[in-house]
Structure 1
């Protein structure tokens, strides 16, 4: 297909940020029947992020209620701000939405999965990385050779931050064998699992509501030996 070369070049020039499964590379050679994209929010993403921010928030409130010193007031403000930052850091950097791009073929389905991290987050992270580099240089100048170890570690971390890029995973599932297919209509989700798990045939498929029946019908017809299991809740489906 037309974008095979594009993906292969990307793997060569930015291989550290791309993972390619063997099934993806094989299915990439097949004619595409149709394709779609979807933005999927992880289950309990906000609740887990709020829980992450609640820990420093509770610590800050503890200083506020049980210590009336001036330092306690500063610590309260620090922990409350840190709690708010933790919420957004957790939600948008450690548990972000997932962007999926699916391509259906007669032989199987292949897709890419990428964290939906706002470009602003990378901009801020790179800015922090730049400040770390400057701080490392200043530390060596002020403290002397003894600061080299810490400055070196800071510079290394800064280098990692300033080169942050989204990781893109490329998966494929060839239609063959037998197994189980878990479906959850309210989420328009389909999980395909080969049993026994020998050839790595697995796929997690999400679609738009208007496309769900078409996608589900094509997959079930292509996998007649798979047992279809209807999930009653999103927790049972797992995503």
Structure 2
């Protein structure tokens, strides 16, 4: 699969910052989102977990969706959303309503990033059935049409057609869900493996009657050098995500990759 099959060359490079909602007070996390916007990033995201994923496992941590509402009020330009919402934690109709509400708070800047979930501690501590990888993916496939249908029936409707971002790289189920529902596919797939994944995504898109060129390809830049970024770009990636976390956020990589984006976009 060449990147041209995804019309990647027609898309500008975009930079997203995932600010981990951990190890900082809520006011400082708000300030971090505003600062990321001031640095010129295109999107600000968090994650949907209940406990820190690095550092002290019982350290400071905040819930994703209420934090996104705070960010929607505090920012003016950036798109925002979860990377990614856990489909297991909330009824799909509720997910749709929450997304619509944050979309209105932000003035139409919300991106519905979602996935099937994986962090067992979240499930155990909050009383959700963990199931299996397969059962969680089946639930995501079942629930996404419900989310989309609810958006058509809410009053008021979302400000815009809310983009759907789906995370994950499983070839049998996840990429089939991506082909059917996603506007953005996010993964951590290495550059030398991305071509095969895009071939699989193309086949799934043909099966469901979807134009795969409509899907923006996203990947992770944390710890990447120029060579890896260039390889991801050549493979068709146009949305590049940088993860940052407290207690001391290092903004230098964000500033660096924003400059790289600007050079790429001319």
Instruction: Tell me whether the two structures share a fold, i.e. TM-score over 0.5.
Output: no
Scaled by the length of structure 1, the TM-score of the pair is: 0.21
More strand by percentage: 1
Relative contact order higher in (CA < 8 Å, ≥ 6 apart): 2
Scaled by the length of structure 2, the TM-score of the pair is: 0.19
